[in-house]
Amino acid sequence: MKPHPSLGALLGTALIATLAGSASAAETIYYPSLVYRSGAYAPNGIPFANGVADYVAMINARDGGVGGVKIEFEECETGYATDRGVECYERLKSKGAKGAIAFSPLSTGITFALTEKVPNDKIPLQTMGYGRSESADGRVFPWNFPLLGTYWSAADILIQHVNKISGGLKGKKITLVYHDSPYGKEPIPVLQDHAQKYGYTFEAIPVTHPGVEQKAAWLKIRQTRPDFVFLWGWGVMNSTAIKEAVAVGYPRERMYGVWWAAAEPDVRPAGDDAKGYQGLALHPAGADYPVHKDILKYVYDAGKGAGKREEVGEVLYNRGVIDAMLKLEAVRNAQKIFNVKVPTGEQVREGYERLELTAERIRELGFEGLITPLKVSCLDHEGARKARIHQWDGQKWVFVSDWIEADTSYLRPKVEAAALAYAKEKGITPRSCN
Amino acid sequence: MIYRETGQFRTSYAEDQAIFRLREDRIGIIVILAIAWVGIPLVADEYLLRAILIPFLILSVAAIGLNLLLGYCGQISLGTGAFMAVGAYAAYNLALRLPEIPLLIDFLLAGLIAAGIGIVFGLPSLRIKGLYLAVATLALQFFADWAFLRVHWFTNYTPSGSVTAPPLDIFGWLVDTPLEKYWLCLAFACATALFAKNLVRSRIGRSWMAIRDMDIAAEIIGIRPMHAKLSAFAVSSFIAGLAGVLWAFVHLGSWEPLAFSIDMSFRLLFMVIIGGMGSILGSFLGAAFITILPIFLNQVPAMVGIQLSTAMVSHLEFMIFGTLIVLFLIWEPHGLARLWQIGKEKMRLWPFPY
């Protein structure tokens, strides 16, 4: 018996439909998140991780993912340890239909280790506000994206600010209390350069990981009485520093933290003593931006929040939200450029490199007021280098300055020189950006 | 029934001196080597190679180094991480400053430099013993941490204090794929294990064990304590230095002194204690226990499909891992290697134990 032609057609359509169905079910964007919810740095790692998780959950719930493609989200615990971070990276990098879209390790040590690995695996490394400062040069570091500002930019902004408020730094003394790791050491070259330019004397005092023991550092500060103390700490080191400053009677108003040392977990443990402490702000704190309304509505009202409702809008929480937003914007950009649903890591890299967030786009995303416009290019992987200063009033962070922009004419040659030195050591030929 | 020596006669001294005197053991080791060299590369994916097996092999080498010192010569050391750091930074500086030397020679020279440092810091062992020596070696650990953080010459004045390894070029063979790196580490692990095994069966190894068991008696029968102790420190730190080079150049690629902190020394000490002091096999078992088990525990909930928060999983990992260490030390204070030996004894009597 000959089969009926229409039966064959029907079977064929059904088969195609099933195939298409299964294909679209498998098509998800794979978003790995390296977090530390345990260990010495957990108080700071948790709000950031929650911000990332909540933003991704909100995008999935509100928009059904990016460009209509659902995001598959997975966390991996690194404990801030480099070897576990590398293990997590290896575990997650090739999951999902097209592999991981990008990684953000939130640790300078892990960033350094992954910088060696991402060019082979072709996965972008987004290090928003941290990582290697010279990786802002996209010619030598095509896969690194230290968006919104590096530590060199941070140091430059801080010096500009204190120079302005003190009416010239000539003859002044600035002391840097830093976490004794690549993270803490990053700003030193810029602060040393500026010491000659502005005429202040500079001293750097290291604090050993994890930073609970810093009596010696603060006794030295009591002796030398610097005009300003910059704090480059992370986790428990920051609140300890504030308590030690109280113990030696150093005024908190003259202490400035980098943007990783100016969040709620840093000042709250010190209680009222932290009042007056200042720090860099990459973005404001607060939960009254449109994006937070959506997060509360789609994630917390559905009972799926990663953290506590009242912690939405903390400094590090907002930083996690921005981090996730930038990553997903790069993915969206890659979808547009290559006209694909699920971009590969290589395509996401292009998405990053041609990422431009205009004021209008920022408003659309519900981030107006949270970040300033940025434009990434092949030469400049930083995109924007602005920050404000905020001060802890005992309850909340209050802005005490407007947006300050880092001095590109000074920083750029320095970044290029350091990047070229790295390229020479590693035998990399910098690519051309034309 | 299967595993026993009955009927296996050794008719020459060479046979009597073989490392594996039982035919079954020889077959076993050939099978294991075949799996390691050929079988695993055929089936393993990149994750297994890069995240599990390479670190496991490198730390096994380091554990062998510490085991020679602690398990065979009885000298407690908390400075293994420092010896690894010395090896890593020595190899980095040799590669950077003397690029004409082939990288493999650099590695061996770095091992020798670590051995030299080992001899210097082994000197206190001539006067002090036991826990006091542990404290003295702890000084080395802190000294190394300090030196590599503060003396910027060692890190070539990089602003961040973090250094990166040059491309791995072993006599024209560019080791860059995970599989090639695995083979390189496996070669080092096999060579070290063979070297260590033969060493402990030799005159030097026997003098170490004599010192370990009773140093005064050893001295009376004519073993020079200075010679024995310092040679143990030298060989141990040579091997640890090599492991440090591999850890930095092959596994991490870019590192900071924190990679070789006191945590590393403690982990290696636990590997040797849990694996079995005075056993080469124990070094491998201990390294597997300490490096692979936490990663495995971390993935168990996801494997069996239980949804737990990331924080919960990592806390569970710590609790179960800690409990297992305690339990193992209660059940078998002589380590995993001893368990394996007991298993072998049982095998010989099987199926008619008496």
Closest listed residue to residue A199, CA positions, set A172, A221, A224, A175: A172
Residue range A127-156: average pLDDT?
93
Choose the mutation target among B160, B318, B319 for the interface with A, i.e. most A CBs under 10 Å. B160
Nearest by CB to B159, from A86, A112, A185: name it.
A185
Helix, strand and coil content of chain B, in percent to the nearest 5, comes to: 75, 0, 25
Q: Is residue A433 part of a domain?
A: no
Residue B203 buriedness (CB in 10 A; 0-12 / 13-18 / 19+) = exposed
For B174, phi and psi rounded to 5 degrees?
A: -85, 110
| pLDDT score recorded for residue B130 | 84
Nearest to A211 by CA among A238, A242, A181, A248: A238
Whether residues A301 and A243 fall in one domain = no
My answer on whether A232 and A308 are in the same domain is no
DSSP code string of B207-265: HHHHHHH-HHHHHHTT--HHHHHHHHHHHHHHHHHHHHHHIIIIIISEE-GGGGSHHHH
Residues B246 and B210 in one domain: yes
Cα separations in angstroms, A30 against A66, A93, A345, A417, B264: 11, 9, 10, 36, 33
Same domain, B148 and B36: no
Is the residue at A66 inside a domain? yes
Q: Other CB atoms closer than 10 Å to residue A395's CB: what's the count?
A: 7
Is the confidence at residue B158, as pLDDT, over 90? no
Name the minimum distance, in Å, from the CA of A155 to any CA of chain B.
Answer: 14
Rounded CA gap, A190 and A195, in Å? 9
Q: Are residue A145 and residue A156 in the same domain, yes or no?
A: no
- Judge: B164–A426 Cβ closer than 8 Å, yes or no: yes
Residue B12: inside a domain: no
Buried b (16+ CB within 10 A) or exposed e, A356-391: ebeeeebeebbbeebbbebebeeebbbbbbbbbbbb
- B197 part of a folded domain: yes
Instruction: Indicate whether A24 pLDDT > 50.
Output: no
The whole-number average pLDDT for the span A219-229 is 94
Asked whether residue B172 carries a pLDDT value surpassing 60, the answer given is: yes
User: Could you tell me if B176 and B77 lie in one domain?
Assistant: yes
Q: At A20, is the pLDDT very low, low, confident or very high (cuts 50, 70, 90)?
A: very low
Which positions in chain B touch A206 (Cβ < 8 Å)?
149
Whole-angstrom distance, CA of residue B170 vs CA of residue B245? 14
- What whole-number distance in Å separates Cα of residue B123 and Cα of residue B142? 17
Examine residue B81 and state whether it is found in any structural domain, yes or no.
yes
Instruction: Please state the rounded mean pLDDT for residues A318-325.
Output: 96
Shared domain check, A272 and A249: yes
Confidence of residue A325 (pLDDT cuts 50, 70, 90): very high
- Give me the sign of the Cα torsion angle A307, A309, A310, A314: positive
Chain A from 385 to 424: CB within 8 A of any B CB: 418, 422
Query: Does A210 contact B at CB distance below 8 Å?
Result: no
Pull the structure tokens for residue A240. Answer: 């300890």
Tell me the C-alpha distance between A392 and A314, whole Å: 13
8 Å CB contact of B47 and A90: yes
Domain boundary among A260, A281, A302: A281
Of B104 and B172, the one with more pLDDT: B104
- Quote the CA–CA distance of A247 and A234 in Å, as a whole number: 20
Q: Decide if pLDDT at A86 tops 80.
A: yes
Is the same domain home to A133 and A247?
A: no
CATH number of the domain enclosing B197? 1.10.3470
Question: CB distance B252–A133 less than 8 Å?
Answer: no
Distance, CA of B270 to CA of B262 (rounded, Å): 12
Q: For residue A253, what pLDDT is reported? A: 93
Is residue A186 domain-shared with residue A296, that is, in the same domain?
no
Please, are residues A172 and A166 in contact by the beta-carbon 8 Å criterion?
Answer: yes
Per-residue pLDDT for A196 more than 60? yes
Distance (Å) from the C-alpha of residue A169 to the closest C-alpha of chain B? 24
Name B267's Cβ contacts closer than 8 Å, sequence gap at least 6.
Answer: B59, B290
Contacts across the A-B interface (CB distance below 8 Å): 98
Does residue A308 sit in the same domain as residue A346?
yes
Tokens standing for residue A90 = 């290896």
Mean pLDDT of chain A: 89
CA atoms of A79 and A133, how far apart (whole Å)? 23
Would you say residue A119 lies in a domain?
yes
Residues B101, B23, single domain; the answer is no
> What is the separation of C-alpha A237 from the centre of its chain, rounded to a whole number of angstroms?
19
Cα-Cα-Cα-Cα dihedral of A281, A282, A284, A289, to 10°? Answer: -170
**How many independent structural domains does chain A possess?**
2
Residues of B in contact with A151 (CB under 8 A): none
Q: Does residue A426 sit at the B interface (CB-CB below 8 Å)?
A: yes
- B99 and B190 fall within a common domain: yes
Question: Do residues A83 and A204 share a domain?
Answer: no
Give the pLDDT score at A404: 94
Q: Is residue B11 part of a domain?
A: no
Encode burial over A245-262: b for 16+ CB neighbours within 10 A, e otherwise. Answer: bbeeebebebbbbbbbbb
- Per-residue pLDDT of B39-66, as tens digits, reads 999 998 888 998 899 999 999 999 999 9
Given a cut of 90, whether residue A414 has pLDDT beyond it is yes
User: What CATH number has the domain bearing residue A201?
Assistant: 3.40.50.2300
Note the pLDDT of residue B253.
86
What does chain A come to in residues?
Answer: 434
Percent of chain A past pLDDT 70, that is, above it, reads 94
Question: Who's near A288: CB < 8 A, 6+ residues apart?
Answer: A313
* Whether the Cβ atoms of residue A165 and residue A171 lie closer than 8 Å to each other: no
Gyration radius (Cα) of chain B, Å? 21
* Same domain? A359 vs A298: yes
Q: Does residue B335 share a domain with residue B188? A: yes
Q: How far apart are CA A73 and CA A87, in angstroms?
A: 18
Tokens standing for residue B64: 């062998």
| A210: preceding bond cis by omega (within 30 degrees) | yes
Q: Does the pLDDT at position B245 exceed 90? A: yes
Confirm whether A434 is domain-assigned.
Answer: no
Length of chain B: 354
Question: Which residues of A, range 9-38, sit inside 8 Å of B by Cβ?
Answer: 35, 37-38
Give domain status of residue B85, yes or no.
Answer: yes
Q: Is residue B13 part of a domain?
A: no
Instruction: Name the token pair of A247.
Output: 């113990």
Domain that includes residue A349, residue range:
28-149+286-385+421-426
Same domain as B329, residue B245: yes
Which of residues A16 and B60 earns the better pLDDT score?
A: B60
pLDDT at res. B1? 65
* Cα–Cα distances in angstroms (integers) from residue B281 to residues B64, B195, B275, in the given order: 9, 13, 8
Question: Is the pLDDT higher at A83 or at A400?
Answer: A400
Residue A131's CB is within 10 A of a number of other CB atoms, namely: 32
Beta partners for residue A399, in sequence order: A390
**pLDDT band at A422; cut points 50, 70, 90:** confident
Confidence grade of residue A11 (pLDDT, cut at 50, 70, 90): very low
Shared domain for A187 and A124, answered yes or no, is no
Q: A184 and A135 share a domain?
A: no
Q: Does B46 touch chain A (CB under 8 A)?
A: yes
Predicted confidence band of residue B332 (pLDDT cuts 50, 70, 90)? confident
The distance in angstroms from the start CA to the end CA of chain A is: 67
Residue A369 and residue A250 in one domain: no
Task: Kindly state whether residues B37 and B80 are assigned to the same domain.
Answer: no
Q: Which residues, in sequence order, are bridge partners of residue A179?
A: A207
pTM, two decimal places: 0.87
Q: What is the pLDDT of residues A60-71, one digit of tens each?
A: 999 999 999 999
Read off the amino acid at residue A167: G
Percentage of residues of chain B with pLDDT beyond 70: 100
Task: Evaluate whether ipTM surpasses 0.85.
Answer: no
- Does one domain contain both B70 and B196? yes
User: What is the structure's pLDDT at A109?
Assistant: 85
User: Does residue A354 form part of some domain?
Assistant: yes
Residue A69 DSSP label: B
Q: What is residue A26's predicted lDDT score, i.e. its pLDDT?
A: 59
Residue at which a domain ends, from A238, A257, A281: A281
Q: Are residues B69 and B181 in the same domain?
A: yes
The confidence band for A22, taking pLDDT boundaries of 50, 70 and 90, is very low
Rounded-to-integer distance, Cα B277 and Cα B140, Å: 22
Domain membership of residue B354 (yes or no) is no
Is the Cβ of B252 closer than 8 Å to some Cβ of chain A?
A: yes
pLDDT of residue B258: 85
Which domain covers residue B32, as residue numbers? 1-6+18-43
Task: Answer whether residue A8 shows pLDDT above 60.
Answer: no
Chain-chain contact of A77 with B159 (C-beta, under 8 angstroms): no
Q: What is the structure's pLDDT at A397?
A: 92
Would you call A319 helix, strand, or coil by DSSP? helix
Higher pLDDT, B351 or A343: A343
- Give start and end residues of each alpha helix (H) in A129-187: 151-166, 182-185
B34 touches chain A (CB under 8 A): no
Do B151 and B89 share a domain, yes or no? yes
Q: Give the Å distances, CA to CA, from A112 to A108, A146, A159, B160, B255.
A: 6, 12, 26, 10, 7
Residue B170's pLDDT band, with cuts at 50, 70 and 90, is confident
Over residues A256-280, mean pLDDT: 92
The answer on pLDDT for A373 being more than 60 is yes
Q: Tell me the mean pLDDT in the region B80-95.
A: 96
Asked whether residue A222 is domain-assigned, the answer is yes
- The one-character DSSP state at A257 is E
Position A188 confidence tier, pLDDT thresholds 50, 70, 90: very high
* Contact in structure between A275 and A394 (CB atoms under 8 Å): yes
Q: Into how many domains does chain B fold?
A: 2
Q: Which residues contact B291 (CB under 8 A, 6 or more apart)?
A: B52, B55, B56, B59
Looking at residue A13, its pLDDT comes to 41
- A188 CB neighbours in chain B (<8 A) are 159
Are B28 and B62 found together in one domain? no
